Structure 1
């Protein structure tokens, strides 16, 4: 794709997170299972997303099924084995959707600047993007499971900037996690803490209104 550079823009590429910016999960079923098991809300996710269990998945070293096994093992001292496995599976297979407002904004900006998704993801990411109808959303996708490094490791940002074809200090980086934004800004990127579509709209206004 050919991109028209906007001289007045403070950046030449947009690097954007996926989860909790573009993609959102429905954890209703997991919450119901936790309630039935007498577990505090969020127990399963807190365990599953801890670095010892989650990082091997995000680095592409284990499959999602192995991740579910690890979650079930971690819950084994609190609930019966069958319940523990059901909780892990409910998290792994939670339905998800894309925010149409964010998708629209990103499609518009991609017509003007390179767009790269930079995400801590699993080996299922490509299939997930196809399911969402977003396989063509970005010029490039930098997945932690494919490149072997995860945010906030500086290397994943450098890989993303290289694929965008611009220096790191000319990149806008959007994420919902402050530690990831701080790591990007330490490299000289412009950072945006995403809490809702207005944060993205404001950051992209200089490009979209040009």
Structure 2
């Protein structure tokens, strides 16, 4: 029986500094939460970028346009500074991934992302840690669409029953379960290791 782990990226394998947004906002006198609202909130182009209808660059230009009423001509500089980081790897989660791969599991990253994903993974040194990268912007669909999970299983050449899916969002976990995957809400590296029956070295 195949053993496959499908794992989410953000807030699971990749973590972001808590002060990332706030430091840029303070530097430019923006109200707290302004960047997140422009990037991810109602009326943003987030769904368009993670389904490949627009590029990462177009999404970031849209963020700047949405911030412009708050900070004028420095909006592009705000977005440029916010975009500099590729985040950081949660080393404890990475050790779990490495442990299951040593035990014969195949690991696929299944993430709602933009076309900047591969560059970010290269910066983070994650490409060699994975057997496959399944990017929603290349599929043209995003989690929690059930078809995403079916396509991910096809990429991994596995049945849903052979796949364990881990994500930090309950709606994605439930959608994966509905398709037949063994899905778990991410609650930290320790619980993840227990779910997978492994002991990182």
For the 8 Å contact 2:144–2:175, the answer to whether it is kept is: yes
Matched residue, 1:19:
10
Alpha-carbon distance between aligned partners in 1 of 2:29 and 2:122, rounded to the nearest angstrom = 36
1:149-188 to structure 2, matched below 5 A, reads 149-188=141-180
- 1:143, CA displacement in angstroms? 0.4
1:85-164 to structure 2, matched below 5 A, reads 85-111=76-102, 112-164=104-156
Is 1:39 the counterpart of 2:23? The answer is: no
1:33-72 to structure 2, matched below 5 A, reads 33-50=24-41, 52-72=44-64
Alpha-carbon distance between aligned partners in 1 of 2:86 and 2:32, rounded to the nearest angstrom = 18
Kindly tell me: are residues 30 and 170 of structure 1, through their superposed partners in 2, closer, same or farther at Cα, counting changes over 3 Å? Answer: same
| Count of residues paired in the alignment | 198
For the 8 Å contact 2:24–2:82, the answer to whether it is kept is: no
Is 1:30 the counterpart of 2:32? The answer is: no
Where does structure 1 lack aligned partners over 5 or more consecutive residues?
A: 6-10
Where does structure 2 lack aligned partners over 5 or more consecutive residues?
A: none
- 1:156, CA displacement in angstroms? 1.3
- 1:170, CA displacement in angstroms? 2.6
For the 8 Å contact 1:193–1:199, the answer to whether it is kept is: no
- 1:120, CA displacement in angstroms? 0.8
Kindly tell me: are residues 194 and 29 of structure 1, through their superposed partners in 2, closer, same or farther at Cα, counting changes over 3 Å? Answer: closer
Alpha-carbon distance between aligned partners in 1 of 2:18 and 2:94, rounded to the nearest angstrom = 22
- 1:89, CA displacement in angstroms? 2.2
- 1:184, CA displacement in angstroms? 0.6
Alpha-carbon distance between aligned partners in 2 of 1:124 and 1:36, rounded to the nearest angstrom = 25
Alpha-carbon distance between aligned partners in 2 of 1:180 and 1:120, rounded to the nearest angstrom = 11
- 1:36, CA displacement in angstroms? 4.0
Structure-1-length-normalised TM-score = 0.84
